[in-house]
Amino acid sequence: MEEIINILVVEDDEVDRMAVSRALKKAGISAEMAVAVDCKSALKALLGDDLSENDNSSSEATAHANTALSEPSFDCVLLDYRLPDGDGLALVQSVRGAGLKVPLVVLTGQGDEQTAVDLMKAGASDYLPKSKLSPETISRSVRNAVRLYRAQKEAASAQERLRESEERYRLVLEGSNDGIWDWDLMTHAIYCNDRLYEITGLSADEADVSYDLVCQLLHPADRMRISQAVAAHLEDNVELDVEFRLLHRSGEYRYCMARGKAWRDAQGRPFRMSGVISDITERKRAEESLRFLAEASALLSASLDYEKTLDRLARLAVPFLADLCIVDIVEDGVVRRMGVAHADPHWKEQMQKLEDFYSPDLNGTHPAMKVIRTGDAALVSEVTEEELMAATRNAEHWQIVREMGFKSYMIVPLLVRGRALGAISLVSTQQSRCYRPTDLALAEELARRAALSLENGQLYRETNETSENLRQAILILGEQQQQLRTLQQLTNLLNQRLTDLPGLLREMVEAVAGAIPGAQFCFIMLNNPQCDGLVLTVMAGMDTEKLRLENALSPKDGLFSRVLSTGKAQLIQGRSSELSKLEEVPAAIYAAAIESVQSGRLGVLAIGHWDDENAFDEEDRNLLVAVGEQAAIAIDNARMIKALEEQEKRLEDQNEMLAHKNKELENQRQQLQLNNLQLLEAARLKSQFLATMSHELRTPMNAIIGFSQLLLRQRQSSLVPKQADMIQRILSNGKHLLALINEILDLSKIEAGRLELKLEAFNLMTLVRSTVDELRPLADERHLALYIHDNVQNANVINDSVRLRQILVNLLSNGIKFTQTGSVEVEVREISPDRLAIAVKDSGIGIAEAELEHIFEEFRQIDQTITRKYAGTGLGLAITKSLVQLMQGTITVESKLGQGSTFRIELPRAVKATGQGFHAIGKVRTLLGASSLADSTLTQSVQKRRPGRRLY
């Protein structure tokens, strides 16, 4: 169906309009007609109300006209040349001046060539004289004009679209993140947009981009692949879609993706190639980061052994994330280096040094320690020398770190619930890799995952340790229970055998061989102190006859001697040289000392296996040692029991012997008692004899004395002087003998307890003076002075005057007898109102200290030789002492050899009557025991009583 043509008919004449309409109709043109009757209304219809008024060609009007034209309008204008308000030429000029391209077909009245030329010049599309108006002419003219107009309009529209498209394309290219390249395969020149320059970091002024340059910038590892892909596209038209790394001016490789297409000539030969290149570094990095994190997660979750995992993590981080990665964790307040990885193998030595000498201190200034303490990550994009210096401890430390060339670092804490378990330090030594916040985010994510894994690992380890401890404890308890049961059985056995040591030992080795599963045989060697070495005592088990232990029992270097000397259990395995001394070598022997605290080391207990050198373990050792201890106690007990039994036996024997001896002693005692009785009887008889004899002797002696005196007293003596002298000597010796007899009589009375004091009141001084006077002749005879010192107020005493006189005589006569020159003095004084003292002091020969205690004994004389200088019986002081004691007094002596003696007696003023005589039964034995001596001494005494005087 034919298209409808919108036609504006500008005609003031109705008839003409009708004619046009008919002609169009006849020509079969489907027209939609609008009518304008003058120029003004025509312009209004074409340009709109506003502009039709303003018929000028201002730019503003043009702009608006352009806008109007862009809207659907008339396809053609049929205008009459003559119009009421102007001619068609003006209208044409106005319309064209307004920029409208609408076809203008001018209907002219008269055929005027010049008007037609003017109209055509002014922009009319055609002109048609009214006279020639016919359906054909109008149809041809309108159709051609409309076709041309529409074609022009279409072309303009296409042009506009193209322009717009180009504009958009330009905008897209300029705004695109992609680089555009256009490679002339003939010249090898490559056109690039700014973005491509940006990707490489080069500038258009610096370098002309060429294929060679691109090849140089490609990562060496990608070069071959890319050139192959380009060749494949050019030669086989294989789609070009490649990824590669391109060196940026900074030294960093950027990840790029390129697509391109070749332009080919009619023969299909490529002459040009163009395409785009995109920087996909960030995406690639993100992908790699994700892949890295996924890999790290897989690694971290692969094992709960966090020590190994963290070390592997450090290795994983190098070189992807760092050139040096260190993982430190804090355990029990101490920093432990869990992982160290570095890209440069030459750093090994430096890292070792850093670890050995500069191990981090939790409280130190090291940045990683600060991160652990605070829990805040640290990022230093570019490390300065000052920062390095601050983080190092000394010049050497600084030097090492400096040499390693740290450029940038970041340290992230291993945080779990706000608590830093440690830190990961990541160091870059590449100028091109200075850490940025995106890197820190990745590192923090890595640390977060590592921290979780670390916590899990630590928890797992703690749990494991706890359960392992529990398992161990249960195991140990089980073992201990088993050991205790075995030991208990053994102890029971041993206790039953306590008195039978060989049986006990046998029982013991059999029990041990039975209780320890790996023990094929067991033996005991006991230390023999006599030969100072071990002696195989007992053995039990398999093939024990093959054991020739004597060879292995070297006292010094033998295995068993060593066990004995050190007390340490020893396991000898695998036919060692020590065991090779044995005839048949067992594969394993475990030897432990038989030892306890109280009994010491008694020997060695050993178990063995002939073939399996791993037959014994720690458990067996413990049991062996425990059995050794029990054995030591049992052996010790057995030995003690044996010793006790022996001791008991010895005691029994001794008891028997003692009983025997007791019996003998009893016999002896009875004998002695009998002897004593006999002695007492003998003493009694002797005393009686002495008393009787003295009495019997006194009677004739008195007669001799009496007759001698009678003879001497004759007035006219018929005696010749010699006879008179002899009678005088008879009288003198008789008197002496009588005195002697009296002394012996006194002594015998004293010993027999028959001497009694006859107490009376008398004046002591009177007695002392008369006695001294009595003895004065003796003193004079020896030219000795004899003094009395009377220091007594009251000289009245109650005593036996005869016996007191006897005492004084004894002491004075001894003083005179044993004094060569000087004096003898008697001093009497009152010690107290009730007591008196009499001292007899001489300047004589004195008495040696050793003799002082003996002089009061009967018959004791210091010089007891027959040829002694001083006469005497040795009875005087004994009788004196006995009499003083009878008088309830005391006698003492002070003397020094050559310096005289002082005998001092102290007596009560009034001696009490005891009613009993002095009876010294203890003396009886002395007297009787010495009876034979006494007899001989008595005889001698009698013979030598007066020196220089003979008895005959």
Helix locations, 497-535, DSSP H? 501-515
Q: At which residue do the structure tokens 């002339």 appear?
A: 184
Which is nearer to ligand ADP, 428 or 810 (by Cβ)? 810
Contacts 24+ apart (CB under 8 A), 507-513: 508/538, 508/605, 508/627, 508/631, 508/634, 509/538, 509/539, 509/540, 509/541, 509/605, 510/540, 511/486, 512/605, 512/607, 512/624, 512/627, 513/540, 513/541, 513/607
Number of Cα atoms under 13 Å in the Cβ half of residue 520: 18
Which is nearer to ligand ADP, 108 or 882 (by Cβ)? 882
Nearest approach, Cβ of 800 to ligand ADP (angstroms)? Answer: 19
Nearest approach, Cβ of 875 to ligand ADP (angstroms)? Answer: 6
| Cβ partners under 8 Å of residue 263, min gap 6 | 270, 271, 272, 273, 274
Q: At which residue do the structure tokens 């039990």 appear?
A: 540
Nearest approach, Cβ of 680 to ligand ADP (angstroms)? Answer: 26
Q: Which residue is nearest to ligand ADP, using beta carbons?
A: 872
Write out the two tokens for 194.
Answer: 């700014």
Count CB-CB contacts under 10 A for residue 563.
Answer: 27
Nearest approach, Cβ of 889 to ligand ADP (angstroms)? Answer: 18
Q: How far apart are CA 467 and CA 125, in angstroms?
A: 106
Nearest approach, Cβ of 885 to ligand ADP (angstroms)? Answer: 15
Nearest approach, Cβ of 862 to ligand ADP (angstroms)? Answer: 4
Which is nearer to ligand ADP, 355 or 853 (by Cβ)? 853
Count CB-CB contacts under 10 A for residue 891.
Answer: 21
Which is nearer to ligand ADP, 260 or 846 (by Cβ)? 846
Which is nearer to ligand ADP, 284 or 860 (by Cβ)? 860
Q: Are 398 and 404 in contact (CB under 8 A)?
A: no
Burial 325-341 (b: 16+ CB within 10 A, else e): bbbbbbeeeebebbbbb
Residue 257: DSSP 8-state: E
Q: 82: buried, middle or exposed (CB in 10 Å: 19+, 13-18, 0-12)?
A: middle
Nearest approach, Cβ of 780 to ligand ADP (angstroms)? Answer: 18
Which is nearer to ligand ADP, 415 or 845 (by Cβ)? 845
Q: Are 590 and 616 in contact (CB under 8 A)?
A: yes
Reduced to 3 states (helix: H, G, I; strand: E, B; else coil), residue 839 is strand
Which is nearer to ligand ADP, 806 or 861 (by Cβ)? 861
Which is nearer to ligand ADP, 19 or 788 (by Cβ)? 788
Q: Are 846 and 819 in contact (CB under 8 A)?
A: no
What are the φ/ψ torsions at residue 9 (nearest 5 degrees)?
A: -105, 115
Using only the alpha carbons of the chain, give its radius of gyration. 79
Nearest approach, Cβ of 733 to ligand ADP (angstroms)? Answer: 17
Which is nearer to ligand ADP, 810 or 882 (by Cβ)? 810
Which is nearer to ligand ADP, 87 or 858 (by Cβ)? 858
Q: Are 95 and 104 in contact (CB under 8 A)?
A: yes
Nearest approach, Cβ of 787 to ligand ADP (angstroms)? Answer: 15
Helix/strand/coil (H/E/C) assignment for every residue in 118-169: HHHHHCCCEEEEHHHCCHHHHHHHHHHHHHHHHHHHHHHHHHHHHHHHHHHH
Q: Are 218 and 199 in contact (CB under 8 A)?
A: no
Which is nearer to ligand ADP, 193 or 810 (by Cβ)? 810
Nearest approach, Cβ of 676 to ligand ADP (angstroms)? Answer: 28
Which is nearer to ligand ADP, 530 or 865 (by Cβ)? 865
| Cβ partners under 8 Å of residue 470, min gap 6 | none
Which is nearer to ligand ADP, 453 or 814 (by Cβ)? 814
Nearest to 590 by CA among 607, 611, 613: 607
Number of Cα atoms under 13 Å in the Cβ half of residue 682: 15
Nearest approach, Cβ of 777 to ligand ADP (angstroms)? Answer: 18
Which is nearer to ligand ADP, 228 or 820 (by Cβ)? 820
Nearest approach, Cβ of 708 to ligand ADP (angstroms)? Answer: 24
Q: How far apart are CA 278 and CA 288, in angstroms?
A: 17
What are the φ/ψ torsions at residue 799 (nearest 5 degrees)?
A: -165, 180
Which is nearer to ligand ADP, 610 or 856 (by Cβ)? 856
Which is nearer to ligand ADP, 501 or 875 (by Cβ)? 875
Nearest approach, Cβ of 747 to ligand ADP (angstroms)? Answer: 11
Count CB-CB contacts under 10 A for residue 440.
Answer: 19
Nearest to 250 by CA among 287, 202, 282: 202
Contact footprint for ligand ADP (CB under 6 A): 810, 814-815, 818, 842, 844-845, 847, 855, 860-862, 870, 872-878, 901
Nearest approach, Cβ of 788 to ligand ADP (angstroms)? Answer: 17
Helix/strand/coil (H/E/C) assignment for every residue in 706-727: HHHHHHHHCCCCCCCHHHHHHH
Which is nearer to ligand ADP, 392 or 814 (by Cβ)? 814
Nearest approach, Cβ of 929 to ligand ADP (angstroms)? Answer: 19
Nearest approach, Cβ of 658 to ligand ADP (angstroms)? Answer: 46
> Checking phi first, is residue 466 left (phi over 0); if not, alpha (psi -120 to 50) or beta?
alpha
Q: 418: buried, middle or exposed (CB in 10 Å: 19+, 13-18, 0-12)?
A: exposed
Q: At residue 908, what is the residue type? A: P
Q: Are 624 and 487 in contact (CB under 8 A)?
A: no
Nearest approach, Cβ of 798 to ligand ADP (angstroms)? Answer: 26
Cis upstream peptide for 345 (omega within 30°): no
* Helix (H) or strand (E) run with residue 768 in it: helix 764-781
Which is nearer to ligand ADP, 541 or 844 (by Cβ)? 844
Nearest approach, Cβ of 688 to ligand ADP (angstroms)? Answer: 24
* 823-832 and 253-264 strand pairing: unpaired
